[in-house]
Amino acid sequence: MAAEEGKVDPMHQFHIEPILGSQNWEIAGFNIAFTNSSMWMMITAIVLFLFVWGGMKRDLVPGRWQVMVESSTGFIEDMLDANIGKEGKKYVPYVFSLFMFILFANLLGLLPLGIIGVHPFTFTSHFTVTGVLAVISFAIVLLVGFWKHGFHFFSLFVPHGTPLPMIPIIFPIELISFLVRPFSLALRLFVAMMAGHVLLKVLSSFVIDGTNAGIGFGLLVGLPSFALMIGISALEILVAGIQAYVFALLTSLYINDAENLH
Amino acid sequence: MDAEAAKLIGAGLAAIGAGMAAIGVGNVFGSFLESALRNPGAADGQQGRLFIGFAAAELLGLLAFVVAMILIFVA
């Protein structure tokens, strides 16, 4: 659906454009050009690195920055401790990186840099990116589960105290609900981010078109839409945090299944 | 009926799912707040469960959104 002249196309912000390289840079049929998506992934990784690096001073009396970093690692450590137990400590590096990467990606994508002509790209609003993150989490669950419990891992699909005649029914249901996990994990983050950004752009088209239609429409439609946009932006910051938290929380719950069965 | 019109009506009907998810999410947080005010000491320990419930309720609303988007832009 192409946008007509002068209209805001809410889907244009998700276009992936090559910044370095072109459509011809291919390996085995896959384009490897450096796109705006990869650029924002790099920016996120660099910002995250600087954030953590600035807080690694190990002072006895921590400064503000060190408290910020230590409380974010402590937050993840507490979450893993509550959900997995003392076994969870070895997953702190992975879940911390996952949580902070998603959080920083979501927040950087919300920055109002459009004012100075730079358009931030929210790569968590693409199913390929969130899908890979979810598949990594799921792969860790499978590896840990089979490494630790061998084929006993399949007892995860038969809850305790299931009556014998119920097992043929329960087993496929539990198996499907297990296999759909990476899909739902990826879908939740991707859709939540995409929906918020589409909503903001649709509201912005109300403001622009309303104001262009004359002062009456501008006051009647443009101004309330603009007020709503400010509110939705605040909500989006909340959603960015919640979605990163939910992703990390569900990952830790799934790892708990693999560590402790149930 | 025109196929394009049917798609748009279907996308509009999918928005009902988003509203239903809103009821679900409100229910999750409402029930949590209700019981958290009765026993504030136990509230902090249940925050993980609160967000699991929120995530489960929200996912279904997001699926409705995906259905609408697929009908408008893909199908």
A4 pLDDT more than 50:
no
Of the candidates A249, A245, A259, A227, the one whose C-alpha atom is nearest the C-alpha of residue A107 is A245
Residue A27 bridge partners (DSSP): A30
Tell whether the model's pLDDT for residue B27 goes beyond 60: yes
Q: Distance between CA atoms of A134 and A117, rounded to whole angstroms?
A: 33
Mean pLDDT of A121-135: 92
Closest C-alpha to B22, from B71, B62, B52: B62
Q: What is the mean predicted confidence (pLDDT) over A139-165?
A: 88
Q: What are the chain A neighbours of B69 within 8 Å (beta carbons)?
A: 194
From B55, B59, B73, residue closest to A1, measured CB to CB: B73
Q: Do B48 and A246 touch (CB under 8 A)?
A: no
Q: Could you tell me which of A49, A42, A39 has the C-alpha nearest to residue A18?
A: A39
- Residue for token pair 């649709």: A202
- The mean pLDDT value of chain B amounts to 89
- Is the minimum CB–CB distance between A11 and chain B shorter than 8 Å? yes
The closest of A76, A66, A71, A70 to A101, measured between CA atoms, is A76
Mean pLDDT on A194-221: 87
Side-chain half-sphere exposure of A102, counting CA atoms within 13 A: 32
Local confidence band at A112 (pLDDT 50, 70, 90 cut-offs): confident
State the best of A80, A188, A202 to mutate against chain B, taking most chain B CBs within 10 Å. A188
ipTM > 0.90?
no
Chain B residues touching residue A184 (CB < 8 angstroms): 59
Task: Provide the pLDDT for residue A6.
Answer: 56
pLDDT in tens, A174-185: 999 999 999 999
DSSP class of A221: I
Give the rounded percent of residues in chain A with a pLDDT score beyond 90: 41
Residues B54 and B27: their CA atoms lie apart, in Å, by: 9
Given a cut of 90, whether residue B48 has pLDDT beyond it is: no
For residues A89-115, give the mean pLDDT.
91
pTM: 0.87
Q: Hey, of B60, B66, B70, which one would you mutate to test binding to chain A, going by the most A CBs within 10 A of its CB?
A: B66
Q: Which amino acid, A196?
A: G
Half-sphere exposure for B47 (CA within 13 Å, toward CB): 13
Contact at CB, B51 and A253, closer than 8 angstroms: no
Chain B residues with a Cβ under 8 Å from any Cβ in chain A: 48, 51-52, 54-55, 58-59, 62-63, 65-66, 69, 72-73
Contact A100, A82 (CB under 8 A): no
A244: Cβ contacts below 8 Å, ≥ 6 apart: A99, A100, A102, A103, A106
User: At residue B71, does pLDDT exceed 60?
Assistant: yes
Query: What's residue A46's pLDDT?
Result: 95
Cβ–Cβ < 8 Å for A135, A184: no
Chain B hits for A11, Cβ within 8 Å: 73
Annotated domain spans of chain A: 12-260
User: Look-up: residue for tokens 């025109």?
Assistant: B2
Closest CA to A100 of A74, A62, A138: A74
Question: How many inter-chain contacts (A to B, CB under 8 Å) are there?
Answer: 37
pLDDT-derived band of residue A2, with 50, 70 and 90 as boundaries?
A: very low
Identify the CA nearest to A258 among candidates A178, A189, A187, A182: A178
Give tens-digit pLDDT for B30-42.
999 999 999 988 8
The answer, for A82 touching chain B at a CB cutoff of 8 Å, is yes
Q: Band the pLDDT of A7: cuts 50, 70, 90.
A: low
Lowest mean pLDDT among A22-31, A53-62, A199-208, A209-218: A22-31
Q: What's residue B28's pLDDT? A: 94
Q: pLDDT value at position A51?
A: 92
Q: Note down the domain range covering B14.
A: 3-74
CA–CA min distance A192, chain B (Å): 7
Q: What is the pLDDT of residues A21-67, one digit of tens each?
A: 676 777 777 777 788 888 899 999 999 999 999 888 877 888 888 99
Helices (H), chain B: 3-38, 40-43, 47-69
Of the partner residues A187, A249, A253, the one whose CB lies closest to the CB of residue B62 = A187
- Cα distances from A239 to residues A41, A61, A108, B58, in angstroms, run 20, 33, 13, 11
| Average pLDDT score over chain A | 87
* Contact between A195 and B48 using a beta-carbon 8 Å cutoff: no
Helix, strand, or coil here: A27? Answer: strand
Q: Which residues in chain B are closer than 8 Å to A193, comparing Cβ atoms?
A: none
B18: domain CATH number?
1.20.20.10
pLDDT at A247 over 70: yes
Q: Are B32 and B50 in contact (CB under 8 A)?
A: yes
User: What letter represents residue A83's amino acid?
Assistant: N
Count of domains for chain B: 1
